[in-house]
Structure 1
Amino acid sequence: MVLRPRDIRGSPLRVTFLGTASASSSPTRNQSSLGLQLGGDIWLFDCGEGTVAQFHKSSLKMGNLEKVFLTHTHGDHINGLVPLMDAWSDAAVSTGKSMEIYGPLGTRAYVRSVLKYTHSMIAAPYAVHELRTLADPSGDYTELPLHRSEVPGRDIVCDEDGLWRNVFKDRTITVDAGPIHHTVACVGYVLTEAPIPGKIDQKEYIPRIKSSGDSMSLMTRIQAGERVTLKDGTVLEGPPKRPGRRIAILGDTYDASPIAPLCQDVDLLVHEATNAYLPGIDPNQKETDTVESVQAQSKAHGHSTCQVAGAFARRVGARHLILNHFSARYPDPSANERAELVMREIGRIASEEFGKEVITARDFMTYEVQMRG
Structure 2
Amino acid sequence: MQLEFLGTGAGQPAKSRNVTAIALRLLDERNAVWLFDVGEGTQHQILRSNIRPRKVEKIFITHLHGDHIFGLPGFLSSRSFQGSDEHEPITIYGPKGIKRFIETSLSVSESHLTYPIEYVELTNEGTVFEDKTFAVEAMKLDHGITSYGYRIVEKDHAGELQVDKLKTMQIPSGPVYGKLKRGETVTLPDGRVVNGADFIGQPQKGRIVTILGDTRKTQNSVILGKNADVLVHESTYGKGEGKLARSHHHSTNLQAVEVAKQAGAKKLLLTHISARYVGKLAMELEKQAREEFENVHVVHDFEVIEIPFEHVEETKVSDDRGTL
User: Which TM-score tier does this pair reach, normalised by the shorter chain?
Assistant: 0.7 to 0.9
- For 2:55 and 2:255, locate their aligned partners in 1 and report how far apart those are by CA, in whole Å: 35
- Equivalent AA in structure 2 for residue 220 of structure 1: K
Partner of 2:265: 318
Partner of 2:321: none
Partner of 1:352: 291
| TM superposition score normalised by structure 1 | 0.77
2:234 equivalent among 264, 269, 272? 272
- Equivalent AA in structure 1 for residue 159 of structure 2: G
Partner of 1:8: none
- Equivalent AA in structure 1 for residue 229 of structure 2: D
Matches within 5 A, 1:75-224: 75-94=66-85, 96-132=87-123, 158=124, 163-165=125-127, 167-206=128-167, 210=171, 215-221=176-182
2:248 equivalent among 301, 306, 310? 301
- For 2:219 and 2:126, locate their aligned partners in 1 and report how far apart those are by CA, in whole Å: 15
CA deviation vs aligned residue, 1:151-193 (integer Å, no higher than 9, x gap): xxxxxxx2xxxx322x111111111111111120000111111
- Equivalent AA in structure 1 for residue 155 of structure 2: A
The question of whether the paired residues in 2 share the 8 Å contact of 1:99 and 1:126 is answered with yes
CA deviation vs aligned residue, 1:259-300 (integer Å, no higher than 9, x gap): 4223210000000000114xxxxxxxxxxxxx2xx2111111
The question of whether the paired residues in 1 share the 8 Å contact of 2:176 and 2:186 is answered with no
For the pair 1:328 / 2:275, whether they are aligned, the reply is: yes
Aligned length: 302
How far did 1:205 drift?
Answer: 2.1
CA RMSD of aligned residues (A): 2.0
How far did 1:362 drift?
Answer: 0.4
The unaligned stretches of length 5 or more in structure 1 are 1-12, 133-157, 278-290, 332-338
Partner of 2:193: 233
Partner of 1:15: 3
CA deviation vs aligned residue, 1:313-347 (integer Å, no higher than 9, x gap): 0110000010000111013xxxxxxx2x2122211
CA deviation vs aligned residue, 1:99-123 (integer Å, no higher than 9, x gap): 1100011111111111111211112
Say which is worse superposed, 228-237 or 313-322, in terms of deviation: 228-237
How far did 1:46 drift?
Answer: 0.1
The unaligned stretches of length 5 or more in structure 2 are 312-324
SS class of match (1:91): coil
The question of whether the paired residues in 1 share the 8 Å contact of 2:86 and 2:116 is answered with no
- For 1:186 and 1:213, locate their aligned partners in 2 and report how far apart those are by CA, in whole Å: 53
- For 1:263 and 1:183, locate their aligned partners in 2 and report how far apart those are by CA, in whole Å: 21
Q: 1:211 to 1:102 in 2, by over 3 A?
A: closer
The question of whether the paired residues in 2 share the 8 Å contact of 1:212 and 1:230 is answered with no
How far did 1:220 drift?
Answer: 3.1
| TM superposition score normalised by structure 2 | 0.88
1:342 equivalent among 258, 281, 291? 281
SS class of match (2:84): helix
Q: 1:212 to 1:352 in 2, by over 3 A?
A: closer
Q: 1:233 to 1:51 in 2, by over 3 A?
A: same
State the 4+ residue runs in structure 1 displaced beyond 6 angstroms: 211-214
- For 2:181 and 2:161, locate their aligned partners in 1 and report how far apart those are by CA, in whole Å: 11
- For 1:29 and 1:211, locate their aligned partners in 2 and report how far apart those are by CA, in whole Å: 57
- For 2:175 and 2:245, locate their aligned partners in 1 and report how far apart those are by CA, in whole Å: 66
SS class of match (1:90): coil
- For 2:267 and 2:24, locate their aligned partners in 1 and report how far apart those are by CA, in whole Å: 16
Partner of 1:246: 208
What is the aligned-residue identity percentage? 31
